[in-house]
Amino acid sequence: MKRFLSIIIAVLIMLPVMPGNTSSASVLKAGDDCIELIKRCEGFSRYKYWDYSQWTIGYGTYCQEDEYPGGITEAEADALLRKVLVEYESILQSFINKNNITLSQCQYDALVCYTYALGSVWTKYDEFDLKTILINGSDNYSFLEIAQAFGEWRCAGGKVLGGLVKRRHEETALFLSDRTESSSEVWRVTAEDGLNIRLTPSESGTVAGKMPLYTIFGVTEKRVSESGVWGKVNYNGVTGWCSLGYAKYMVGGPLEAEYDIPVNPVDSEVWKVTASGGLKLRSGPGLSYSQLGIISCGKTFTVTASANADGYTWGKTVFDGQSGWCALNFAELQSGTEPQTPVLKSIYISSQPDKKIYLEGEAPDMTGLEVKGRYSDGSEQIITDYEISALDTSPGTHSIKVTFEGMSAQFSVTIKPKSLAGIEIASMPDKTDYKTGELLDLTGLKVNAVYDNGAREEITGYTYNIDSPVSGMKTITVSYNGFEASFKIRVAPKTLCGIKVTAYPDKTSYALGDAFDPNGITVYAYYDNNSKLKIEDYIIEGYDPDKVGIQSITVRYSGYTDSFDISVTDGTPIYARGDVDGNGTVDIVDLIALKQYLDNELKLDTAAVRAADADGNGTVNQNDADIIAELIVEK
Contact between 313 and 328 (Cβ < 8 Å): yes
pLDDT at 314 over 80: yes
109 versus 587: the higher-pLDDT residue is: 109
77 versus 15: the higher-pLDDT residue is: 77
- In angstroms, the CA 372 to CA 114 distance is 52
Percent residues over pLDDT 90 in the chain: 33
Confidence of residue 211 (pLDDT cuts 50, 70, 90): very high
Q: Flag the least confident range among 201-215, 223-237, 557-571.
A: 223-237
pLDDT at 14 over 60: no
pLDDT one-digit tens code per residue, 419-436: 888 989 999 999 888 877
- In angstroms, the CA 82 to CA 170 distance is 20
pLDDT at 15 over 60: no
- In angstroms, the CA 243 to CA 229 distance is 6
Return the pLDDT at 26. Answer: 59
The H or E element containing residue 591 is helix 588-598
Return the pLDDT at 336. Answer: 59
> E strands of 438-528, at which residues?
446-451, 456-459, 463-466, 472-480, 483-492, 496-503, 509-511, 522-527
Tell me how far CA of residue 537 lies from CA of 277, 499, 531, in angstroms: 78, 12, 18
Domains and CATH numbers, the chain: 5-175 (1.10.530.40), 185-258 (2.30.30.40), 261-341 (2.30.30.40), 345-416 (2.60.40.3630), 420-492 (2.60.40.3630), 496-634 (2.60.40.3630)
Return the pLDDT at 92. Answer: 92
- pLDDT, mean of residues 371-393: 79
| Torsions phi, psi for 196 (to 5 deg) | -70, 145
pLDDT one-digit tens code per residue, 543-597: 999 888 889 999 999 999 999 899 888 766 667 788 888 887 888 888 898 888 8
Question: What is the torsion angle, in degrees rounded to the nearest 10, for the CA atoms of residue 479, residue 481, residue 483 and residue 487?
Answer: -20
The alpha helices in 272-360, defined as continuous H runs, are: none
pLDDT at 100 over 90: yes
- In angstroms, the CA 591 to CA 628 distance is 7
pLDDT at 157 over 70: no
Confidence of residue 24 (pLDDT cuts 50, 70, 90): very low
pLDDT at 490 over 70: yes
Return the pLDDT at 260. Answer: 67
pLDDT at 139 over 90: yes
Confidence of residue 355 (pLDDT cuts 50, 70, 90): confident
The H or E element containing residue 197 is strand 195-198
The alpha helices in 186-264, defined as continuous H runs, are: none
Contact between 121 and 8 (Cβ < 8 Å): yes
Task: Calculate the average pLDDT of the chain.
Answer: 84
- Rounded to 5°, the CA angle 319-321-323 comes to 65
Return the pLDDT at 453. Answer: 65
What percent of the residues of the chain are helix, what percent strand, and what percent coil, each to the nearest 5? 20, 40, 40
- pLDDT, mean of residues 107-112: 94
505 versus 364: the higher-pLDDT residue is: 505
Class of residue 231 by CB neighbours under 10 A (exposed 0-12, middle 13-18, buried 19+): buried
From the list 299, 293, 313, the residue with the least C-alpha distance to 271 is: 299
Confidence of residue 635 (pLDDT cuts 50, 70, 90): low
pLDDT one-digit tens code per residue, 433-484: 887 777 888 899 999 988 876 778 898 889 888 866 567 788 889 899 999 9
344 versus 382: the higher-pLDDT residue is: 382
- In angstroms, the CA 525 to CA 573 distance is 34
Return the pLDDT at 320. Answer: 83
Contact between 188 and 214 (Cβ < 8 Å): yes
3-state SS record for 349-400? EEECCCCCEEECCCCCCCCCCEEEEEECCCCEEEECCCEECCCCCCCEEEEE
pLDDT one-digit tens code per residue, 28-61: 999 999 999 999 888 888 888 887 678 899 998 9
Return the pLDDT at 16. Answer: 37
- In angstroms, the CA 498 to CA 45 distance is 33
Return the pLDDT at 345. Answer: 76
The alpha helices in 176-313, defined as continuous H runs, are: none
